[in-house]
Chains A and B, each alone.
Chain A
Amino acid sequence: MKNNQALKKTVLIVDDETPFILSLTTGLKRYSSEYNILTAENGKIAVEILESTPLDLVVTDLRMPEMDGFELLAYMSTNFPSIPVIVMSAFGTQEIKDRLGPIGTLGFLDKPVDFKKLTNLIRNSLKHDIKGGSLKDISITSFLQLIEMEQKTCLLDITGEDMPVNGIFYFNKGELYDAVCGELKGEKAVLEVIGWGNAEIKLKELPKEKISKRIEANLMSLIMEATRLKELSLQEDKMEGASDVLSEDVELEGKKRNHKFIEKQKEVNMNVEKLNAAVDLLKGDLGDALLATDIYGSADGQSIAGYNTQPKASALFCQVTAYLTKSLNDSGFPQLGRYYILDLADANIVVVIPLGDYQWGMLVDVKKAQLGLLLNVVMPKIIDAFEEAITG
């Protein structure tokens, strides 16, 4: 019997609605052989219990007086990160629940609470405890989504592991108004902070002065963009890793064979002569049909070579490519292939070929050139020529 008692888990339920707490504790009595139930009417009392009693699970409402569920989650993520939490809310959309679902053992429950679902969730969460899931798995994005879902007004202070500056986020009725992180402001600050791992989140006192809205994008699109950037960065890191090994080994081989190889580098060493030769090749093949062409940087849209060059169009098409890439990514479509074509008035077309750090755009009069010839004969030739230019 003593052993059973020692094995029994302890669950803390935090909610300010006394009738709900009473009915819950009465209903859960039948599981008294499996776990003890403790209750608290707000986050402050919950913290006192956390400080004095070993707990195995916390079930909490988000809206409460004194200290609400967000403050409790933030406090627990720092001080009791190994205790799993189930959050109860009347404002969860299916999308939010789906997103919160896989995060550690952070469970989600609709209010009014379905008693059977609650007991199942408690039992599952207690089982997961064995696997070691915990609140430390709660990501910044989940926390932000909870705030949006509950339409909370608050100021968040986010500390990232080994980050020299904190991120400050301001929400007004669940809408992300502004963010600051060092010198970064608004959306740039959000994209930076969302990518942090192992962050500590604190709720700060609201400022007295009014904070105006600086962030126009919605939270979900910012989260998706941050995720995309993180994936890109991981891919770049992976590439750098592979490239480092290649550079070292190939350099040795290169000495033997007198080949010149590029070492680890951020900038591309462009061979200007070969670049101009690539443009000349296009001009030569298309003749009068080529109305204008530019090779421009994907990052800044600045033309580095061209004929009848169009700097404004280069900068704008650089943005079009970025939007197109993001739209394909967001829609779950396959990524952009070799090129895209815009059919313009008067039998003109714009062809844009994304080439990594650069893009090649051209305005072509298709009355004077066959499209098939351009795509199947000329394009492979100029791509090879461009590749020669970037490899020196």
Chain B
Amino acid sequence: MGKQLERIYEIVTQKAGLDARMKLATKTGISKSRASEMPDTDELVKKFKALASALIGKNIDSL
């Protein structure tokens, strides 16, 4: 459950700090702990990746 979403949170925090993590949480309305309990649907993962890439300034898939 939510492994991919949780991993995206970890990458964002690692690459762009807590500021970026909080922005990801605010924009999605889903906290890291809640993300870890949610199903990794293709749609959610895709959208989380889009936001995370914008925050990091790099395509998250390339990391």
Interface residues of A (CB under 8 A from B): 235, 238-239, 241-243, 245-246, 249-250, 253, 259-262, 268, 335-339, 353-358, 383-384, 386-388, 390-392
Given the complex, which residues of B lie within 8 Å of A388, measured CB to CB? Answer: 31, 33-34
Given the complex, which residues of B lie within 8 Å of A353, measured CB to CB? Answer: 18
Given the complex, which residues of B lie within 8 Å of A259, measured CB to CB? Answer: 30, 38
CA A383 – CA B54 in complex, angstroms?
22
Report whether B18 and A239 are in contact in the complex, using a CB–CB cutoff of 8 Å: no
Report whether B50 and A246 are in contact in the complex, using a CB–CB cutoff of 8 Å: yes
CA A336 – CA B17 in complex, angstroms?
7
- Indicate if B41 sits at the interface (CB-CB under 8 A): yes
CA A391 – CA B47 in complex, angstroms?
17
Given the complex, which residues of A lie within 8 Å of B31, measured CB to CB? Answer: 384, 387-388, 390-391
| A375 → chain B closest CB, angstroms | 13
**CB contact between B26 and one of A335, A338, A384, A391 (< 8 Å): that residue:** A391
Task: Classify the interface of chain B: helix, strand, loop or mixed.
Answer: helix
CA A246 – CA B35 in complex, angstroms?
15
Chain B 22-63 interface 0/1 with A at a Cβ cutoff of 8 Å (1 = within): 110111111111100010010110011011011101000000
Report whether A384 and B22 are in contact in the complex, using a CB–CB cutoff of 8 Å: no
Report whether B23 and A356 are in contact in the complex, using a CB–CB cutoff of 8 Å: yes
Among B13, B27, B50, max chain A CB count under 10 A is at B27
CA A388 – CA B29 in complex, angstroms?
9
**CB contact between B29 and one of A235, A336, A355, A392 (< 8 Å): that residue:** A392
Interface residues of B (CB under 8 A from A): 13, 16-23, 25-34, 38, 41, 43-44, 47-48, 50-51, 53-55, 57
New A-B contacts (20) at CB < 8 Å, excluding given A243-B27, A249-B47: A241-B54, A242-B47, A242-B51, A246-B48, A246-B50, A250-B43, A250-B44, A261-B28, A261-B29, A262-B28, A338-B13, A338-B17, A354-B19, A356-B18, A356-B26, A384-B32, A387-B22, A388-B34, A390-B22, A391-B28
Given the complex, which residues of B lie within 8 Å of A354, measured CB to CB? Answer: 17-19
Given the complex, which residues of A lie within 8 Å of B17, measured CB to CB? Answer: 335-338, 354
Report whether A387 and B32 are in contact in the complex, using a CB–CB cutoff of 8 Å: yes
**CB contact between A245 and one of B25, B38, B50 (< 8 Å): that residue:** B50
**CB contact between A387 and one of B25, B54, B55 (< 8 Å): that residue:** B25
CA A239 – CA B16 in complex, angstroms?
14
CA A239 – CA B53 in complex, angstroms?
9
CA A335 – CA B15 in complex, angstroms?
10
Report whether A338 and B50 are in contact in the complex, using a CB–CB cutoff of 8 Å: no
Of chain B, the residue at the smallest CB distance from A241 is B54
Report whether B18 and A338 are in contact in the complex, using a CB–CB cutoff of 8 Å: yes
CB-CB under 8 A for A356 and B28, given A239-B51, A243-B51? no
Report whether B43 and A249 are in contact in the complex, using a CB–CB cutoff of 8 Å: yes
Report whether A235 and B54 are in contact in the complex, using a CB–CB cutoff of 8 Å: yes
Given the complex, which residues of B lie within 8 Å of A250, measured CB to CB? Answer: 28-29, 43-44, 47
- Can you list 17 contacts pairing A with B, beta carbon distance less than 8 Å? A239-B23, A242-B47, A242-B51, A245-B47, A246-B28, A253-B41, A253-B43, A259-B30, A268-B26, A336-B17, A337-B17, A355-B19, A355-B22, A356-B21, A387-B25, A390-B25, A391-B28
Given the complex, which residues of A lie within 8 Å of B50, measured CB to CB? Answer: 242, 245-246
Report whether A384 and B33 are in contact in the complex, using a CB–CB cutoff of 8 Å: yes
| A361 → chain B closest CB, angstroms | 14
Report whether A383 and B28 are in contact in the complex, using a CB–CB cutoff of 8 Å: no
Of chain A, the residue at the smallest CB distance from B47 is A246
CA A384 – CA B21 in complex, angstroms?
11
CA A255 – CA B33 in complex, angstroms?
21
Report whether B54 and A356 are in contact in the complex, using a CB–CB cutoff of 8 Å: no
